[in-house]
Amino acid sequence: MATIKKEDCSCPRREKPRCPHKPYRVSYREPGGRSGKPRQVSFKKLEDAEAFAVKVERDKDLGVYINPKHGQRTFESVWDEWVTAGTLEESTIANYRSVFRNHYGPAFGSRTIGSITPDMINKWEADQKERGYSQYGIQTRRNVLSSVFNFAVDTEVIGRNPCRKANPRKKSRETAYTPVSDADIPTTAEVLGIVAEAPKLLRAAFWGMGGCGLRPGEALAMSDESMDWEGGTLLVNHQVSAYGCQEISGFRRGVKRGTKHRSSGEARRTPVAESIVEIFNDHVDMFDTWGDQGWFFESPRRNDKHPSYEWLLSQFKEAAAAAGTPQFTPKSFRHFFVSQAIHQGIPLFEVAAWVGHRTTRTTELVYGHLVRRAMERGAQTMENRLGLNLAPFKGKIASPFLVPSESDVEDWDEVA
């Protein structure tokens, strides 16, 4: 059993409340009975010592005891271990390290991981909101943070994940996805206007986003090998990244296998309209392809190199401004593609698969108002197809009775 002993210090009585000494010492053994290693932990207040003594014995009984010294590791050291523990690609590791520097390091980096409390998590989230980050971005980073704490729990560094008790949102289920409004979706004329202002080298990439629902990095990674010219489909299994796959591109800034929410071995297919196929054909005829896979897009400054992701974004911004629609971004073209698909009554599971959403739930949350309109159109379509004019039959069709009449009972008796 854990025992508490008070060891008085030599400080004057009046100075004791402010002195640095911790007179209450808890002595206990780690799990294993007499063979367990003896431990001692000192506390400033008696109530803290008593609480710790009760907790350590309870944890030993439940088999969840964690050595308190393990929790003295800094959050940054546990983060580094978490990042390198799996088989993440170089680009993913680089992104995680960048996220740590910008979002986690200032708040938690130098703190011991065992000292991080749910209140600190709440304060960090509030700070993220004050800095103007979207709810989706905050929730995504919070999920990553929770994964790090789960890793620390699994490796017996700490005994609990503070994220689980931080802001549980029991009363309000706030979604991390920002619903799209009509103002976020460009019209066909606005899409054509932006494409017309784009550099000829990138117009096919713009149509990859607006006509196939690709993300910017995915649009830059289209190739002859990924295109089924006769079937009118595109295999989406690469994306341009700041840290490309060495064996494919031969240099760090280039293309890598895999897309968002999918590993390097997974891919998805998206349909390509005949008019878009012709646009891709015209692009190949004009600029040719390069590399073993026949990449569509090449850097305007460096031969046999992919254009940078940032260059596409800057060119889109300039084209949108020149077209008089500066409010639109490359994501707006994906919104255009999804909205057109939903308007045509294509099932949500198909749309979600084409654009690479994790589940149809994501599609419903982001494009909820379009889905509701599609439901209304579906009901009206069924009404137009199957609706009957019942006016002439009113009063002639007997309504069903839940309780049988006396005549009905007599008829049943005769049958019996």
Nearest to 372 by CA among 332, 350, 349, 339: 339
Is 315 inside a domain boundary? yes
Is 171 inside a domain boundary? no
Domain final residue pick, 28, 44, 65? 65
Q: Which residues touch 95 (CB under 8 Å, ≥6 apart)? A: none
Residues 158 and 305 in one domain: no
Residue 357: CB atoms within 10 Å: 24
Round to whole Å and give the CA distance between 101 and 107.
Answer: 10
From the centroid of its chain, how far is CA 314? 25
Edge-first strand order for the sheet with 3-6 is: 3-6, 24-29, 38-43
pLDDT tens sequence for the chain (416 residues):
788 888 888 888 778 777 888 888 888 887 777 777 788 888 888 888 888 788 778 777 766 666 777 778 899 999 999 988 876 767 678 888 888 999 999 999 999 998 898 889 999 999 998 998 888 788 888 888 999 999 888 887 887 788 887 764 543 445 556 788 889 999 999 999 999 999 999 999 999 999 999 999 999 999 999 999 999 999 998 888 765 444 444 444 566 655 555 555 578 999 999 999 999 999 999 999 999 899 999 988 888 888 888 899 999 999 999 999 999 999 999 999 998 888 888 888 899 899 988 777 778 777 877 766 666 666 666 666 555 555 555 555 454 444 555 555 455 555 44
Residues 145 and 268 in one domain: no
Residues 107 and 236 in one domain: no
Nearest to 117 by CA among 165, 80, 74: 165
Round to whole Å and give the CA distance between 133 and 135.
Answer: 7
| Coil, strand or helix at 39 | strand
* Statement: the pTM of the whole predicted model exceeds 0.95: no
Q: Residue for token digits 């196939």?
A: 212
* Number of domains observed in the structure of the chain: 3
| Coil, strand or helix at 234 | strand
Residues 193 and 156 in one domain: no
* 55-85 burial: b if 16+ Cβ within 10 Å, else e: ebeeebeeeebbeeebbebebbebbeebbee
Token pair listed for 164: 């689980």
Domain final residue pick, 42, 65, 88? 65
Q: What is the CATH number of the domain that holds 125?
A: 1.10.150.130
Residues 82 and 218 in one domain: no
Q: What is the CATH number of the domain that holds 270?
A: 1.10.443.10
Task: Please work out, in degrees rounded to the nearest 5, the angle formed at the alpha carbon of residue 109 by the alpha carbons of 169 and 56.
Answer: 70
Is 52 inside a domain boundary? yes
The pair phi, psi for residue 326, each rounded to 5°, is -70, -10
| Domain enclosing residue 306, as ranges | 185-371
Residues 206 and 314 in one domain: yes
Task: Please work out, in degrees rounded to the nearest 5, the angle formed at the alpha carbon of residue 246 by the alpha carbons of 244 and 249.
Answer: 70
Amino acid at 59: D
